[in-house]
């Protein structure tokens, strides 16, 4: 099959495909994780504790705003794209892709307005100068306009996870190259913001280039994209629920960083963010498995293969539990040396944060198949309610613990929220797979 022609008949779902696609994503993310150690080391060591803290606060604000306005259109493309793709209806695929792209653009424009208000609100609380406030706003705008969710969905719909891994690696490559240039020219907060902004643009351009190459015929048939909601009943509700669910998930993480900055200052926020990012890098596989899992579960549901769905859910859950145990063990064995090696002795005190935040990431990995299962089986509303419950628990724990023990309290809250989320999502996912048909 030539690039751009598309897959006429979606293949059967299976765990082997999940692992193969996850390995492709792991190749890209693993490569990126290695490079991230380099650019993190450059940023932490050259900016210093206080300036690095300011940097991560700006980055956290931008990521929080992106989460608020993102409709997770890649999930919409995968969820509703299999039917027209399997039927050979390129026009139907094109209208769906056009509608998702329009959602991305609309969300980005709304996000720019939110960024304007958000930077004005947080600037005096974080001690930003007028010049730094303007830079923060421009950085957020670039992040918002670097739209790539729909092309991510295109590559996964057409089962091109390997191509997606190449596109995704552009972020880490561009960041590392940018960080090296910034340090060579004289490290500055402004320079690192520019480097990270350029990386966002490069990544978006990479995804769109590959998406056009893979699905060009469909992308040329976007006329009439406004009909997509009528052609796919439930699409608008699914879009709204995935937006809210993703917002709750990402906001929960970014709000913790911002709250640490507000309560304990930019330096503490820098240490917290560093520990969070290193902990996440150890559990990076969870994100990759979840993304490939959603595509495979959707294939099983679309083919009406209940046996395949149950087998896939059972096997993936066992695999995730085992990987989570390994990650916790690695945290205790090499966590502190890795932290000091990357960021330097000044950040050694962040090791307890790394253990707690890494454990939270491992717990999320243990339930990696649960939310994709709910989304693929038509229980997006349940997934949203569980996300909401988890977010409320997290905010409650933050309100109780942060005033007393600062950044450590935020890390404890994250671990507690992940544990409760694992229990809630696990029970609901099992009911969706093994319960009554009307569950």
Supply the pLDDT for residue 130: 94
Residue 287 counted as domain residue: yes
Does 10 fall in a domain?
Answer: no
Can you tell me the distance from the alpha carbon of 8 to that of 171, in angstroms, rounded to the nearest whole number? 31
The predicted pLDDT at position 294 comes to 53
Q: Residue 5 falls within a domain, yes or no?
A: no
Structural domain containing residue 37: 15-434
Q: Tokens 């997006």, residue?
A: 380
For residue 261, which of 414, 402, 412, 57 has the smallest C-alpha distance?
57
pLDDT (tens digit per residue) in 303-321: 556 676 677 777 777 777 7
6 located within any domain: no
pLDDT tens digits, 28-49 = 566 666 787 789 889 998 998 8
Crossing angle (nearest 10°) for helices 189-219 and 15-69: 120
383 within 8 A of 245, measured Cβ to Cβ: yes
How many structural domains does the chain have?
Answer: 1
Whether 208 is covered by a domain: the verdict is yes
What's the pLDDT score for residue 37? 79
Q: Assess if residue 439 is contained within a domain.
A: no
Query: Collapsing DSSP states into helix, strand and coil, what is residue 113?
Result: helix
Give residue 186's region: left, alpha or beta (phi > 0; psi -120 to 50): left
CB-based contacts of 309, cutoff 8 Å, min separation 6: 13, 297, 300, 301, 377, 433
What is the pLDDT at residue 280?
A: 67
350-379 b/e (C-beta count within 10 Å ≥ 16 → b): bbebbbbbbbbbbbbbbbbbbbbbbbbbeb
Looking at residue 104, what is its pLDDT?
Answer: 94
The residues, any chain, with a CB within 8 Å of residue 310's CB and separated by 6 or more, are 433, 434
CB 226 within 8 A of CB 99: yes
Q: Does residue 191 lie in a domain region?
A: yes
Residue-wise over 307-328: b if at least 16 C-beta within 10 A, else e?
Answer: ebbeebbebbbebbeebbeebb
Give the residue ranges of the chain where pLDDT is below 50: 1-15, 436-439
- Predicted local confidence at residue 291, as pLDDT: 53
Tell whether pTM > 0.85. Answer: no
pLDDT of residue 9: 42
Instruction: In whole angstroms, give the CA distance from residue 61 to residue 90.
Output: 39
Tell me whether residue 164 is in a domain.
yes
């Amino acid at each position: 099959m030539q690039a751009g022609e598309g897959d006429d008949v979606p293949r059967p779902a299976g765990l082997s495909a999940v692992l193969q696609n996850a390995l492709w994503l792991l190749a890209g993310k693993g490569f990126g994780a290695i490079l991230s150690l380099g650019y993190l080391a450059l940023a932490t060591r050259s900016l210093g504790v206080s300036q690095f803290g300011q940097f991560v606060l700006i980055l956290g604000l931008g990521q929080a705003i992106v989460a608020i306005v993102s409709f997770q259109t890649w999930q919409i493309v995968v969820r509703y794209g299999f039917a027209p793709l399997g039927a050979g209806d390129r026009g139907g695929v094109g209208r769906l892709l056009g509608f998702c792209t329009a959602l991305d653009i609309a969300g980005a424009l709304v996000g720019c307005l939110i960024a304007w208000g958000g930077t004005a609100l947080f600037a005096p609380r974080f001690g930003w100068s007028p010049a730094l406030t303007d830079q923060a706003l421009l950085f957020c705008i670039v992040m918002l306009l670097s739209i790539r969710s729909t092309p991510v969905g295109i590559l996964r719909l057409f089962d091109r996870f390997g191509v997606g891994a190449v596109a995704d690696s552009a972020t880490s490559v561009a960041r590392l190259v940018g960080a090296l240039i910034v340090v060579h020219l004289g490290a500055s907060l402004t320079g690192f913001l520019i480097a990270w902004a350029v990386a966002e643009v490069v990544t978006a351009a990479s995804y769109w280039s590959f998406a056009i190459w893979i699905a060009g015929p469909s992308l040329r048939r976007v006329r009439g994209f406004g009909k997509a909601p009528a052609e796919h009943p439930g699409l608008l509700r699914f879009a709204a629920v995935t937006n809210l669910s993703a917002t709750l998930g990402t906001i929960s993480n970014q709000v913790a960083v911002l709250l640490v900055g507000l309560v304990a200052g930019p330096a503490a926020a820098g240490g917290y963010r560093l520990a969070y990012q290193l902990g996440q890098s150890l559990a990076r596989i969870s994100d990759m498995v979840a993304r490939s899992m959603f595509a495979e579960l959707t294939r099983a549901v679309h083919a009406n293969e209940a046996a395949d769905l149950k087998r896939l859910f059972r096997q993936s859950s066992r695999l995730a539990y085992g990987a989570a145990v390994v990650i916790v063990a690695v945290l205790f064995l090499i966590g502190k040396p890795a932290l000091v090696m990357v960021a330097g002795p000044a950040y050694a005190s962040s090791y307890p944060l790394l253990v707690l935040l890494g454990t939270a990431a491992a717990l999320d990995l243990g339930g990696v198949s649960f939310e994709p299962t709910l989304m693929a089986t038509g229980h997006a509303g349940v997934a949203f309610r569980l996300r909401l419950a988890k977010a409320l628990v997290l905010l409650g724990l933050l309100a109780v613990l942060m005033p007393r023990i600062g950044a450590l309290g935020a890390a404890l809250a994250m671990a507690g929220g992940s544990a409760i989320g694992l229990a809630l999502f696990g029970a609901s996912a099992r009911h969706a797979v093994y319960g009554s048909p009307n569950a």
